Structure 1
């Protein structure tokens, strides 16, 4: 089988498109089979998909808008959540290939660059575990590379317009995307022939379009500054000691470690497959290898400066993923500059990369079944559907609305009961419960984490609407985990609220 695949890819390297497509299709199928309970980012998307807003807290809104559109088209399900993610990842690989093809005459090396994208952990390992906004950012980086390269090579008003649209959408996809065009501008400056594009009057048109697209959201950010910034700053300062110098050093070390974790797999894969060409590629260079190399360095330097400015003690690998996505293109450009014999390149690179990432996707599915035998339970083992069915069956009626201060519970509740409005006390916008509030009792529910008290967010909401939390009867439901072993179970507490609270204002 491996020999036949190798021979096929030597004769028809374009067949790798179908292999990549098949991989992402398989990821959708395996995610549906894994569990009907969500991960953090997935649950957040399902909860927030109730509302079409200009902002959703610490993340820009573009991915949320895409998720809302996907749900409108295909319905609310695990499949629709996974479908959007994997379509974006496939488009990321496809546009990456297009960008590489603009820079290389060799027809196989752009395919090598595309396969190299799959070796970036954030595209496969982290994304298939639980990423959303970062996935859209990866796709926008690939699109930006296409438009940027076209603008530099063949400038036109249309290419500058597309550049502005891409940067504008990227800015409302994830804030760290903005570093990419800044790094591209800095990387162009040393190249005399290329920097003319930066001082072309049409760059002002591109900037105006980008600003017009991003402006509504950034006005929202100014109006909700705490909600938009607090979570990110807290995450960057996680584990902070209070010693500014020590935390700064820790933050810079974390950038180095995250860079190695995200970039080393790509370097190792290329090194093992092209070990005979390493010497020639190391010394080969042209304007594009220099430009992409400078972009990578500029991105990491800017991140380091931001980390120092915010007093960050921790920079996660996923935050660096848009910048590390440039690495396969850089390595492939070095191979192209060395004019290597590429006839075997796709056939040598594709099988091991696709084999490893497919194995990981299968491992994620199997681990849900195997892990409970070792007493380990994750988010996808939490029995949200079962506990909701038990509670509602005992009551004999569905709630008119559901309140939870726990994001995982809110998102999974939304998944299993999509017609029931869900409220989170700390959400940035009021939930439009409408007439449903007046048609029956509401369900307040939360997972028990060792404390028997009503969570603070729910208690505050009740107090704000004149309802004494201590006057309410708290009930409990214990339900076995998904794939539970030896009777392992999880407890949820809940309250049926006869008195209807007003929508949070």
Structure 2
């Protein structure tokens, strides 16, 4: 069987398109089947899908808008949440192949470059665990590469405008995307045949297009600067010692380690497939290898400079993923410049790579079943749906609104009861509370843990600010077995019913 697959891929390497499509379809199906509870980023999307806003805290809004559109068309479910993410990753692979095809005459090496994308941990490990905005950024980087390469090779006013639109969308997808076009501009400067594209007057059209797309959100970000930056800066300073020199060194080391973690799987994969030609590829170069290589270096250097500027002591691998995405293209271009015999390259790379990445998503599904036998429970084991069903069954009616101080609870509640408005203290939400009051009582709910019989502080402050004494609110607790629970292991939730909706910020 293995020889038959090998020979088939040698003759028809384009079959990898179907393998990659099958992988992402399986990813969606397994995510929908493995649990009806959400991960962190998924819960955030489910909660925020209620609101069409210009900004959502520390993340730009483009992914949220896509998620809202998906929910409006297909409904809000784990399937549609996973479908959007995997569709973006599939498009990332396809646009990456298109970009590589524009630079290489060899029909197999662009496919190799596309396969190399799946070797990046952010694409097949971190994303399948729990990433949202980062997946859209990866897709936008691939789209940018396509249009950037086309503009350098065959410039036109249309290509410049499309480039600007892509940069604008990328900027409102994730802020670190902006580093990619900046690095691209710096990377082409030493190349005379490309430098003139950068100095072309049509660049002004690209800048205008980018501004038109990104400016509304950027105005929002300036007006809400603390909300837009605090979370990211705090994450970058996580574990900070307070010593600027020590934290700078730690930050630079974390960049180095994250770069190695993200790039070594790709380098090892290419090394194993093309081991005979590594030396020749090392020496070979052309204008495109230089441009893409410089882009990678400039991106990492800019991240280091920004990290030092913000006092970062920790840079995570997922923050580097848009820049490490350039690596498979760079390596493929190096082997193309060395005139490597690529006849069996796809056949050597695809089976083991697809086996590994498929094995990982199967592992994620099985771990939910195996984990409880080892006494390990994760976010997908938390029984939000059974808890909500029991609470509502006891009352005999649905609430007009739900308030919680926990994002995971907010997202999962919204997932299972998408017609009920869900609110969180401190989140500026355009919920029609007057209408909710007329519909019936509200429900306060939270993960109780080992807390005493009292409302969590954020909920207590909220009801107090709206004329209700927290100590007068009747509190109840409910112990619900975990999903796939073993030995009666359960999680405790606290809840309380309010007969009148508090007037939160609009």
- Does the alignment reach a TM-score above 0.5? yes
* CA apart distance, 1:499: 2.2
Q: Distance in 1 between matches of 2:380 and 2:433?
A: 28
* CA apart distance, 1:434: 4.8
**Deviation string, structure 1 residues 248-303 (Cα, Å, up to 9, x no partner):** 11111110111011111111111111111111111110000011000000000000
Contact 1:421 1:433 in 2 (8 A): no
Q: Distance in 1 between matches of 2:123 and 2:449?
A: 33
Q: Distance in 2 between matches of 1:273 and 1:237?
A: 39
Contact 1:57 1:428 in 2 (8 A): no
Question: Does residue 382 of the first structure (1) align with residue 382 of the second (2)?
Answer: yes
Task: Tell me which residue corresponds to 1:212.
Answer: 212
Q: Distance in 1 between matches of 2:167 and 2:62?
A: 13
Question: Does residue 260 of the first structure (1) align with residue 260 of the second (2)?
Answer: yes
Q: Distance in 2 between matches of 1:174 and 1:377?
A: 31
Q: Distance in 2 between matches of 1:26 and 1:173?
A: 26
Question: Does residue 55 of the first structure (1) align with residue 18 of the second (2)?
Answer: no
Q: Distance in 2 between matches of 1:426 and 1:176?
A: 26
Over 3 Å off, 4+ runs: none
Task: Tell me which residue corresponds to 1:501.
Answer: 502
Task: Tell me which residue corresponds to 1:309.
Answer: 309
Q: Distance in 1 between matches of 2:338 and 2:216?
A: 47
- Assess, with a 3 A threshold, how the Cα gap between structure 1 residues 432 and 315 changes in structure 2: closer, same or farther: farther
Contact 2:57 2:228 in 1 (8 A): yes
**Which consecutive unaligned segments of at least 5 residues does structure 1 have?**
none
Task: Tell me which residue corresponds to 2:470.
Answer: 469
Question: Does residue 80 of the first structure (1) align with residue 80 of the second (2)?
Answer: yes
Q: Distance in 2 between matches of 1:244 and 1:44?
A: 33
Task: Tell me which residue corresponds to 1:147.
Answer: 147
- Assess, with a 3 A threshold, how the Cα gap between structure 1 residues 7 and 54 changes in structure 2: closer, same or farther: same
Question: Does residue 277 of the first structure (1) align with residue 277 of the second (2)?
Answer: yes
Task: Tell me which residue corresponds to 2:443.
Answer: 443
Contact 1:368 1:380 in 2 (8 A): yes
Contact 2:403 2:423 in 1 (8 A): yes
Secondary structure of the residue aligned to 2:122 is: coil
Residues 387-406 of structure 1 mapped to structure 2, 5 A cutoff: 387-406=387-406
Q: Distance in 1 between matches of 2:457 and 2:272?
A: 54
Q: Distance in 2 between matches of 1:12 and 1:349?
A: 14
Q: Distance in 2 between matches of 1:326 and 1:454?
A: 49
Secondary structure of the residue aligned to 1:194 is: helix
Contact 2:112 2:349 in 1 (8 A): yes
- Assess, with a 3 A threshold, how the Cα gap between structure 1 residues 443 and 320 changes in structure 2: closer, same or farther: same
Q: Distance in 2 between matches of 1:456 and 1:220?
A: 29
Task: Tell me which residue corresponds to 1:291.
Answer: 291
Q: Distance in 1 between matches of 2:96 and 2:433?
A: 43
Task: Tell me which residue corresponds to 1:226.
Answer: 226
Q: Distance in 2 between matches of 1:10 and 1:192?
A: 39
* CA apart distance, 1:364: 0.2
* CA apart distance, 1:451: 2.3
Q: Distance in 2 between matches of 1:325 and 1:459?
A: 46
Task: Tell me which residue corresponds to 1:454.
Answer: 455
Task: Tell me which residue corresponds to 1:190.
Answer: 190
Q: Distance in 2 between matches of 1:120 and 1:38?
A: 24
The count of residues paired between Structure 1 and Structure 2 equals 505
Residues 29-48 of structure 1 mapped to structure 2, 5 A cutoff: 29-48=29-48
Task: Tell me which residue corresponds to 2:343.
Answer: 343
Secondary structure of the residue aligned to 1:446 is: strand
Q: Distance in 2 between matches of 1:188 and 1:448?
A: 56
Task: Tell me which residue corresponds to 2:492.
Answer: 491
* CA apart distance, 1:4: 1.6
Q: Distance in 2 between matches of 1:116 and 1:431?
A: 45
Secondary structure of the residue aligned to 1:122 is: helix
**Which consecutive unaligned segments of at least 5 residues does structure 2 have?**
none
* CA apart distance, 1:308: 0.4
**Deviation string, structure 1 residues 82-107 (Cα, Å, up to 9, x no partner):** 00000000000000000000000001
Contact 2:28 2:86 in 1 (8 A): yes
- Assess, with a 3 A threshold, how the Cα gap between structure 1 residues 429 and 419 changes in structure 2: closer, same or farther: closer
Contact 2:164 2:210 in 1 (8 A): yes
Task: Tell me which residue corresponds to 1:102.
Answer: 102
**Deviation string, structure 1 residues 448-478 (Cα, Å, up to 9, x no partner):** 2332232222112112111111111111000
Contact 1:227 1:428 in 2 (8 A): no
Q: Distance in 2 between matches of 1:257 and 1:179?
A: 20
TM-score of the superposed pair, with normalisation by structure 2: 0.99
Q: Distance in 1 between matches of 2:217 and 2:236?
A: 22
Task: Tell me which residue corresponds to 2:172.
Answer: 172
Q: Distance in 2 between matches of 1:137 and 1:348?
A: 29
Task: Tell me which residue corresponds to 1:410.
Answer: 410
Q: Distance in 1 between matches of 2:448 and 2:436?
A: 27
Task: Tell me which residue corresponds to 1:126.
Answer: 126
* CA apart distance, 1:36: 0.3
Task: Tell me which residue corresponds to 2:6.
Answer: 6
Contact 1:430 1:503 in 2 (8 A): no
**Deviation string, structure 1 residues 156-179 (Cα, Å, up to 9, x no partner):** 111101100100000000000000
Contact 2:444 2:497 in 1 (8 A): yes
Contact 2:428 2:505 in 1 (8 A): no
Q: Distance in 1 between matches of 2:327 and 2:455?
A: 49
Q: Distance in 2 between matches of 1:57 and 1:456?
A: 22
* CA apart distance, 1:108: 0.6
